[in-house]
Amino acid sequence: MRTHTISIIIPCYNEERYIETCINSVLSSNYPKKLMEVLIIDGGSSDNTCENIKEIIRNNSNVRLIHNPHKIVPHAMNIGIKESKGDYIIRLDAHGSYPSDYFSKLIKYAQELDSDNVGGVCITDVKNKNSKSLAIKEVLSNRFGVGNSSFRIGADSIIEVDTVVFGCFKRDVFDRFGYYDERLVRNQDIELNKRIKRGGGKLYMVPDIQCTYYARETFSELAKNNYQNGLWNILNSLFM
C-alpha cells in the first residue's frame, strides 16, 4: 500500500480561542511531514486568528494561510481544493483537535475501502469546563440530543453512511461530483456527501477513527448555531 500526499484544509473565521490547538494537533501527526500540506483558509478574521497562524507558519513551511474574501465555508473549501496538491483532501474544522494517528488511519481505510469519503467518530468536548458548558457537552454527546448521527454516537463496526464529518476525499471526487455549493451558508458538507451518494460514490464511517470537537459553550451560542443549522437544512432541500 503506497504512501499518499495529503492536503488538509481548515476554514476559519475569528477562531483565536481554538486555532492554535487545532493546528498544533495537526502538526503533531505521525503522518510524514513531507507528504502533508496544511491550508488554512481565513474569512477575514477581526481577532488574533491570523496573527496566531502566522506565528505557527514561521516554524512550519508546510502550513499556508490563504484569504477567503467570501467568508463562508463552501468558498473556503473550494479555494483550498483548487490550491491543494495532495492525492487526498481532508476537510477539518478549527474547533477540532485531532490525534496523532488521525491522518494515517484515514488514508489506511480510504485505500482499504476504496472510499470516496471516509470519516470517523467525533467526540464532543468543551475547552472551558463549567456547569453550563458541561451540560451542553452532555446534550451533544447523547442520542436524545443529536439523534442517530453515527459520527456522533459511534458504531460497532465500519458502516456505509450518507455523510461523514471531517473526512478524507479522493482527489478526483470533485471532478466527478462537483465542488462545494457556494450558495449554502451551512450544511454544505451534507449536501456534497448526498450528491456523492446519488452519483454512486461510497462513504464510510470507521469507529476506530476518532477526533474531538469543541462545542460552543453558552446556551445562546448553541441555540444560534442549532437554529441556523436547522434553517439551512430546510433551505438546502431547495437546492437539491
Q: Does any domain span residue 67?
A: yes
Residue closest to 188 by CA, chosen among 180, 178, 196: 180
Going from the C-alpha of 213 to that of each of 58, 106, 122, 194, 234, the distances in angstroms are 26, 17, 6, 23, 24
Given this model, what pLDDT does residue 150 score? 60
Q: Does any domain span residue 51?
A: yes
Q: How many domains does the chain have?
A: 1
Q: Does any domain span residue 60?
A: yes
Given this model, what pLDDT does residue 30 score? 97
Q: Does any domain span residue 196?
A: yes
Q: Does any domain span residue 177?
A: yes
Q: Does any domain span residue 149?
A: yes
Q: Does any domain span residue 1?
A: no
Distance CA 39, CA 78 (A): 12
Domain that holds residue 127: 6-239
217 grid coordinates: 459553550
Given this model, what pLDDT does residue 216 score? 63
The CATH number given to whatever domain includes residue 194 is: 3.90.550.10
Given this model, what pLDDT does residue 3 score? 81
Given this model, what pLDDT does residue 125 score? 80
- From first to last of the 240 residues of the chain, give the pLDDT tens digit: 568 999 999 999 999 999 999 999 999 999 999 999 999 999 999 999 999 999 999 999 999 999 999 999 999 999 999 999 999 999 999 999 999 999 999 999 999 999 999 999 998 886 655 554 444 445 555 454 444 566 555 678 999 999 999 999 999 999 999 999 999 998 999 999 999 999 999 999 999 999 999 986 544 454 444 434 444 444 455 555
Q: Does any domain span residue 229?
A: yes
